[in-house]
Each structure stands twice: as structure tokens, then as C-alpha cells.
């Protein structure tokens, strides 16, 4: 049986190329510091740095933690959430989403009352769960997406998102 073909995410191709080039430049610069600038092809390094500057002038610098730009400002795993009122809650990320059954939301089109709920983590380490309407009331959707595994690694100070053994 042939292997399934992976659908390419062309919306974020520029960002992925930027991340790869940024990481390659950093590795080359570290190598040059250790081994001397003449150990690398300096003109090519300069071209790579120029390309990074062009991207940053056009789209702004990409945060180190970002894996993609959230072009459609979608509410999905990895979405950056920017607080509307810092006195109530800090910035956060969506770590996981799932469908919850809430009979009070049942109607003819949704007989079981299934609604999406989003499990989130603040940058201070607090976990919370909200429905989409609640999220939009508390947060602006950010420009970037982060890897949920990185969010958990960096901010889950209380072990709230520990995976269940399989």
C-alpha cells in the first residue's frame, strides 16, 4: 500500500524557511566563533543574513518560540492568546481542544450539546478551560502558533498536562 501523501502547509512555507535559515545562520555563527571566521564561507553567510533581514523587514522578526504564523487567526492548538485585561488574566496559549457534551447547549441541530472547549495554559503556569465565546471575550488571537509540546515544557509548572500512559 502506498504511503499517504502529506498535505503541505503553503501558508506557512515562508515562516518554516525563515526558521530553517535562522537556525542554520546561528549554527554557522557559533561554528565561526569556535573555529575562526575563515572556517566558513563568509560571503554565503552574509547572503543568508541579508535574506533574514529582508524577511524581518517585510513580516517582522519571528519569535524564537513560533512555529508558524496564524494567518487566519484560527482558534486551534498552539494559538497565542493575548489578554484583553492584564488585571484579570495574563497571556496564554491553547494546548488542547476537544468536544465536550453540555446538554444545556443541545438543540435540534446539536442534539447532544457537543461544543468545542479549549484547554489553555498561561505564561505564568495556570491552566484553564474555556469555550470559544469565552476565549474571544478574554483574549485577542495572536499572530503566531507555538508547538503545544513546547508550551507544556515551558509553562506547565504544576504538571497539569501530563500525558496518560497508553
Q: Return phi, psi of residue 82, to 5°.
A: -100, 125
**In whole angstroms, how far apart are CA 102 and each of 106, 107, 128, 136?**
7, 11, 17, 19
Which pLDDT does position 81 carry in this prediction? 96
Which pLDDT does position 91 carry in this prediction? 95
Average pLDDT of the segment spanning 48-71: 81
Residue 153 pLDDT grade (very low, low, confident, very high; cuts 50, 70, 90): very high
- Quickly tell me which residue has 444545556 as its cell: 104
Q: Are 121 and 146 in contact (CB under 8 A)?
A: no
> What pairs with residue 146 in β-bridges?
66
Instruction: Please give the grid coordinates belonging to residue 12.
Output: 506557512
Size of the chain, expressed as the number of residues it contains:
166
The DSSP-derived string for 24-81 is HHHHHHHHHHHH-GGGS-HHHHHHHHHHHHHHHHHH-PPPTTEEEE-TT---STTEEE
pTM for this entry: 0.68
CA–CA dist 33, 98 (Å, integer) = 47
Amino acid at each position: 500500500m502506498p504511503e499517504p501523501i502529506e498535505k503541505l502547509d503553503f501558508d506557512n512555507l515562508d515562516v518554516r524557511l525563515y526558521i530553517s535559515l535562522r537556525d542554520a545562520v546561528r549554527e554557522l555563527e557559533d561554528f565561526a566563533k569556535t573555529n575562526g571566521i575563515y572556517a566558513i564561507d563568509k560571503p554565503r553567510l552574509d547572503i543568508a543574513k541579508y535574506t533574514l533581514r529582508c524577511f524581518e523587514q517585510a513580516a517582522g522578526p519571528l519569535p524564537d518560540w513560533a512555529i508558524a504564523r496564524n494567518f487566519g487567526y484560527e482558534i486551534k492548538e498552539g494559538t497565542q492568546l493575548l489578554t484583553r485585561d492584564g488585571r484579570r488574566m495574563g497571556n496564554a496559549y491553547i494546548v488542547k481542544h476537544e468536544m465536550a457534551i453540555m446538554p444545556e447547549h443541545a438543540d435540534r441541530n446539536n442534539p447532544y450539546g457537543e461544543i468545542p472547549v479549549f484547554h489553555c495554559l498561561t505564561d505564568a503556569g495556570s491552566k484553564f478551560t474555556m469555550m470559544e465565546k469565552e476565549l474571544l471575550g478574554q483574549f485577542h488571537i495572536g499572530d503566531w502558533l507555538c508547538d503545544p509540546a513546547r508550551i507544556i515544557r515551558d509553562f506547565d509548572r504544576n504538571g497539569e498536562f501530563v500525558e496518560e500512559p497508553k
